[in-house]
Amino acid sequence: MDPIDETIEALILSGAIEVSGIDSKTQQPLYRFNSKIEKIMPELYREHLNEVNRDIMGLWEKGFLSVDLLEEDPLVTLADKAFYDDEIEGLSKEEQMSLFEIKRLLIK
């Protein structure tokens, strides 16, 4: 087993991450962190939080998300542009994946 798979398995066994579904395109498992990750692997938690914030800000700047930055705990919502396939196609693959994941989390 490679080191990444070993780490994921250890995090699952420790209860820090959980399988949240299967990616419909790649058939790979999707994982989500829970509150335990901050104590078990604080560096990974901070890195993940920084990436999520960077992705949200980038999609906000491009008009796909709405965020009230003046709020102490800003609420992230989907803008109309997030539902137009022709607009989404203009994003990089990484941005498309981030938007897909945000939509998956917000639309239940």
Question: Which pLDDT belongs to residue 22?
Answer: 86
- Contact assessment for residue 99 and residue 88, using Cβ atoms and an 8 Å cutoff: yes
Greatest alpha-carbon span in the chain: 46
Burial of 40 (0-12, 13-18, 19+ CB in 10 A): middle
Question: Which pLDDT belongs to residue 31?
Answer: 85
Question: Which pLDDT belongs to residue 99?
Answer: 96
The pLDDT profile of the chain, 108 residues, written as one tens digit per residue, is: 789 889 889 999 999 999 888 887 889 888 888 889 999 999 999 999 999 999 999 999 999 999 988 888 889 999 999 999 999 999 999 999 999 989 988 887
DSSP character at residue 83: G
Tokens 């995090």 correspond to 11
Phi, psi angles (nearest 5°) of residue 35: -65, -20
pTM for the full model? Answer: 0.75
Locate the domains of the chain by residue range. 1-40, 42-108
DSSP character at residue 68: -
Question: Which pLDDT belongs to residue 87?
Answer: 97
- Contact assessment for residue 17 and residue 37, using Cβ atoms and an 8 Å cutoff: yes
